[in-house]
Structure 1
Amino acid sequence: MNYEAIESKFIATAEKGEVSSILIRPDDAKWLLVLGHGASTTMRHSTLQTIAERLADIGIATFRYQFPYMERGGGGRESQAVALATVRSAVAAAHAAAGDLSILVGGHSYSARMSSLTAAEAPIEHVRGLVFFAFPLHPSGKEGTERAEHLDDVTVPMLFLSGTRDKLAVLDLLVPVCENLGDKATLHLLDTADHGFKVLKRRKTEEDVFVEMARVLSEWIETLN
């Protein structure tokens, strides 16, 4: 199914200037997910595009956006301070574009972590919850939980959607992290999915992995009301 994609720009930071965004809003939407990209991809990457389309299928709007370094065509990432400011600016722009919708924020990998760091720094205005598509708990081959330490400071509910083959979030570490967060965290494991949501043929379910993530997100939203 095709959906109207409304493209626009907003100011990420005064120093870095404008970045691009794409709003997809189904007619029956009540929720809007502000959705960021991975470290080496853009908001137009097939992963984010598919996430946005499957969410639209079930009536959830998305506001995809670029970080400044990707708006300039890639290269070195800017400072963490710029990234966190961009997350706040994206939420503000999304609220301005669709202020009648309840807002979630998150993204795939890098932007999932930048979203959580932003929320840990100080609550993000208008945001009801965080959604992490493949939270990067640690670099590949360098297992640890230091990247999760700030999650204790997040004050809104968090949904972790993580593959069982994700080399950036091994289950022996991710499961205890989520358990220690208590009621604030919900972890859903995606059978055989890797960090980019590629799955094996021997999955325990025939449900498409992107359909599964949309369904779980929709069910989780019901707990926020």
Structure 2
Amino acid sequence: MKIPLGEDVGGVSAVSAMIGMPEWWPTGSRVGIVLAHGATGNFNDPLLVDLHQGLTARKYLTLRFNFPFAEAHRRRPDAPATLERALRGAVAALARDPTAAPAHLFVAGKGLGGRVAADVARAGLRVDGLIFLGYPLAAPGDPKQVRVEHLYRIVSPMFFLQGTRDRGCDVDVLRRTLTRVGAPTSLHVIPEADQNFRIPRKSGRSDADVRGEILGLVDAWIHRVLGE
């Protein structure tokens, strides 16, 4: 499917998306999840694909999409306003059919996608929860320049999944930051995982094992947030 942007962005007027519709979806408890990719990938990122398929199988309406720069095969991410417009368009796409619109909405973002999700939530997008798959706490190329102020303005529950080898986020700094966040937060650390949640072979685990772990954690956290 294609999601219109509302205006042309560098030759791109719509972005590609993939929607996962559960075979059976109970009225009144429908949950939708939008998945946003990072700065160096696209909507076919292996982690997002696994989450998309796994969450759909667990009766979530899921949607993964491209940001405009990925749609145009550009390496440099779009301006923040453009990224936010694309994410809002993806959220709106879940509600195109009023008879199938979700009752609850979660947004999950990997790296840059998580940052965009946080900015959109801070600006007023109503979501039941935010899921950060490796949060870019530090500015690109400058690990000492930590960017956290926007997290203090978010009111929705937040779930951080973080690898210890992610160069964009010091886990200890993230822990300290979350103690000052007013909204409910949860943090799960995955030892030896990098920003793509890849782990060394010597760990005895495969990347697929880690992606399966993340799927189970996300599913369990959503159920807790919804009080199920």
Common fold: TM-score over 0.5? yes
The answer for the alignment partner of 2:45 in structure 1 is: 45
Q: Which has the larger displacement, 75-84 or 149-158?
A: 75-84
- Please list, as runs of the form range in 1=range in 2, the aligned pairs for 1:37-186 lying within 5 A after superposition: 37-96=37-96, 98-121=100-123, 123-125=124-126, 127-139=127-139, 142-144=142-144, 146-186=146-186
Task: State the alpha-carbon separation in 2 of the partners of residues 211 and 182 from structure 1.
Answer: 30
Cα drift, residue 120 of structure 1:
1.1
The answer for the alignment partner of 2:33 in structure 1 is: 33
Q: Is the 8 Å Cα contact of residues 159 and 187 (structure 2) preserved in structure 1? A: yes
Secondary structure of the 2:64 match is strand
The answer for the alignment partner of 2:4 in structure 1 is: 11
Task: State the alpha-carbon separation in 2 of the partners of residues 124 and 140 from structure 1.
Answer: 26
Amino acid at match of 2:8: E
Q: Is the 8 Å Cα contact of residues 26 and 56 (structure 1) preserved in structure 2? A: yes
Q: Which has the larger displacement, 141-150 or 16-25?
A: 141-150
Amino acid at match of 1:187: L
The answer for the alignment partner of 2:20 in structure 1 is: 24
Q: Which has the larger displacement, 200-209 or 134-143?
A: 200-209
The answer for the alignment partner of 1:210 in structure 2 is: 211
Cα drift, residue 211 of structure 1:
1.5
Q: Deviations over 1:67-100 (max 9, x none)?
A: 1111112143321111112211111112225413
Q: Which has the larger displacement, 42-51 or 153-162?
A: 42-51
Cα drift, residue 179 of structure 1:
2.2
Amino acid at match of 1:117: D
Task: State the alpha-carbon separation in 2 of the partners of residues 189 and 59 from structure 1.
Answer: 26
Secondary structure of the 1:103 match is strand
Sequence identity of aligned pairs in percent?
Answer: 27
Task: State the alpha-carbon separation in 2 of the partners of residues 203 and 75 from structure 1.
Answer: 32
Task: State the alpha-carbon separation in 2 of the partners of residues 119 and 100 from structure 1.
Answer: 18
Q: Is the 8 Å Cα contact of residues 20 and 62 (structure 2) preserved in structure 1? A: yes
Task: State the alpha-carbon separation in 2 of the partners of residues 33 and 74 from structure 1.
Answer: 26
Amino acid at match of 2:148: A
Unaligned runs of 5+ in 2: none
Secondary structure of the 2:8 match is coil
Q: Is the 8 Å Cα contact of residues 191 and 203 (structure 1) preserved in structure 2? A: no
Q: Which has the larger displacement, 28-37 or 60-69?
A: 28-37
Cα drift, residue 13 of structure 1:
3.4
Query: What is the TM-score when the length of structure 1 is the normalising length?
Result: 0.85
Q: Is the 8 Å Cα contact of residues 165 and 194 (structure 1) preserved in structure 2? A: yes
Task: State the alpha-carbon separation in 2 of the partners of residues 137 and 71 from structure 1.
Answer: 25
Cα drift, residue 168 of structure 1:
1.1
Q: Is the 8 Å Cα contact of residues 26 and 59 (structure 1) preserved in structure 2? A: yes
